[in-house]
Amino acid sequence: MFPQNPKNYPPEPSGNQAYCPLCEARYNPFFARVLETKDEAHLLHSECESCGSYIISLVSNTPFGLSSIGIITDLTAADVLKFKDKPEITSDDVIEFHQQFQKDQKDN
């Protein structure tokens, strides 16, 4: 079985279309929200209309052309803005939380 329109097969990302990495539905990246722009790099947040997953992508303009890295996330655009500049959680933080938690349980 060959597709009806072999010219468009296999589908290739074009200038104004992107594919959801989960369900492969096409979506228009113009609906993506630009969260931050630094020099030639843009941090984008988009939602797949088909499966509802969120995708964060870093699109940068390099001397070799546009480069794009995307990850699937459950963070909303607001969550990304909230956490992007926060320091990472260290193992010391986890131990401290655990000790405080145990202390609180003893006290009660």
Task: Write down the least CB distance from residue 74 to Zn ion, Å.
Answer: 13
Q: Could you give the CA distance from residue 59 to residue 55 in angstroms, rounded to a whole number?
A: 12
| Residues of span 57-96 touching Zn ion by CB under 5 A | none
CB 43 within 8 A of CB 34: yes
| Residues of span 35-54 touching Zn ion by CB under 5 A | 48, 50-51
Task: Name the residue nearer to Zn ion (CB basis): 42 or 54.
Answer: 54
20 near Zn ion, judged by CB under 5 A: yes
Rg (CA), the chain: 20
Structure tokens at 42: 């843009």
Task: Write down the least CB distance from residue 42 to Zn ion, Å.
Answer: 21
Sheet containing 33-38, strands listed edge to edge, beginning at the edge strand earlier in sequence: 33-38, 41-47, 54-62, 65-73
Number of shown-chain residues binding Zn ion (CB under 5 A): 7
Task: Name the residue nearer to Zn ion (CB basis): 50 or 102.
Answer: 50
Q: Which residues contact 107 (CB under 8 A, 6 or more apart)?
A: none
Instruction: Give the residues lining the site for Zn ion (CB under 5 A).
Output: 20, 22-23, 25, 48, 50-51
